[in-house]
Amino acid sequence: DTGVSQNPRHKITKRGQNVTFRCDPISEHNRLYWYRQTLGQGPEFLTYFQNEAQLEKSRLLSDRFSAERPKGSFSTLEIQRTEQGDSAMYLCASTGGRYNSPLHFGNGTRLTVT
Amino acid sequence: AQKITQTQPGMFVQEKEAVTLDCTYDTSDQSYGLFWYKQPSSGEMIFLIYQGSYDEQNATEGRYSLNFQKARKSANLVISASQLGDSAMYFCAMRGFQGGSEKLVFGKGTKLTVNP
């Protein structure tokens, strides 16, 4: 069990640029989540995959955000035309097994938009 | 929809003493789960303890226990014999099992500081 891996750990970009983050879940986990966390707040749900199917998206999620999970393995989160308000920690989590299994989180990608 | 409320932005406790972190929740689901996570300054989210809505016993995991009061919709985390390494942010979260949503909803967290 190597845990959930996220890359890069840090990303600094200029406003208007596109960025993409990658998440590698725990290998046997079929469910994958993306969350965003700003300073002093709890994680905020963005989207959820079961295998390769994106089953749930936050209504707050701008159409500049898109996520994929091809073949039900790793996932990518892309933010187009970044804005300063996108600066946050982006967390990926995975889980499997029973419905009440806890989420296992990666260490996150910290995005800074200048 | 689920909602979590953590009313204590910060808590202080002396080393070796017990501390209770408050969490209240709101949901229309009859079946749901409550989770507590710890987030040290390094940033990783660490799962601590789980309580199911139909579990008859309060959950315990080592020094962590959950004071679950279903009628009051509260799920307070109790940390016994606090250690300096317990200083961190603590998040209460819940997931409903009937509404079709798989998302885990988090509260705003409580920052715990353990003093020597």
Q: To the nearest whole angstrom, how far is the Cα of A105 from the nearest Cα of chain B?
A: 6
Whether residues B102 and A56 touch (CB distance < 8 A) is answered with: yes
Could A103 and B105 be called an inter-chain contact, meaning their C-beta atoms sit closer than 8 Å?
Answer: no
Q: What is the CA radius of gyration of chain A?
A: 13
Tell me which DSSP letter residue A97 carries.
S
Measured from the Cβ of residue A94, the count of other Cβ atoms closer than 10 Å reads 24
Residue B82: half-sphere exposure toward Cβ, Cα within 13 Å: 22
* Closest of A10, A102, A90 to residue B48, by C-alpha: A102
Interfacial residues of B (vs A; Cβ cutoff 8 Å): 4, 33, 35, 37, 42-45, 47, 50, 52, 91, 93, 95, 97, 101-109
Share above pLDDT 70 across residues of chain A, in percent, rounded to a whole number: 99
- Residues lower than pLDDT 50 in chain B: none
Q: With an 8 Å Cβ cutoff, are A102 and B102 in contact? A: no
* Residue from the list A42, A102, A107 with its beta carbon closest to the beta carbon of B43: A107
CA atoms within 13 A on the CB side of A45: 25
pLDDT at B39: 96
CA dist B2 and A45 (Å) reads 12
- pLDDT for the residue numbered B100: 76
Stretch A36-57: mean pLDDT: 94
Q: What is the rounded distance in angstroms from the CA atom of residue B45 to the CA atom of residue B43?
A: 6
The answer to whether A98 faces chain B, any CB pair under 8 Å, is no
Amino acid letter, A25: P
Q: Cis omega (within 30 of 0) on the bond before A25?
A: no
A19 against B96, higher pLDDT? A19
Query: From the list B95, B103, B108, which residue is nearest A41 (CB)?
Result: B108
Please tell me the predicted confidence (pLDDT) of residue A44: 96
**Mean of pLDDT over chain A:** 94
Query: What pLDDT score was predicted for residue A1?
Result: 55
Minimum Cα–Cα distance from A46: chain B residue: B103
- pLDDT value at position A62? 86
B107: tokens are: 């509260």
**How far is the C-alpha of A16 from the C-alpha of A81, rounded, in Å?**
4
> Using the beta-carbon criterion (under 8 Å), do A100 and B33 form an inter-chain contact?
yes
Beta bridge partners of B28: none
Q: State the pLDDT at residue B56.
A: 86
C-alpha dihedral over A62, A88, B96, B10, to 10 degrees? -140
Quick: pLDDT tens for A82-95.
999 999 999 999 99
Contacts of B101 in chain A (CB under 8 A): 56
| Cβ pair A42:B91 closer than 8 A | yes
How would you class B20 by CB atoms within 10 Å of its CB: exposed for 0-12, middle for 13-18, buried for 19 or more?
A: middle
A2 pLDDT band (50/70/90 cuts)? confident
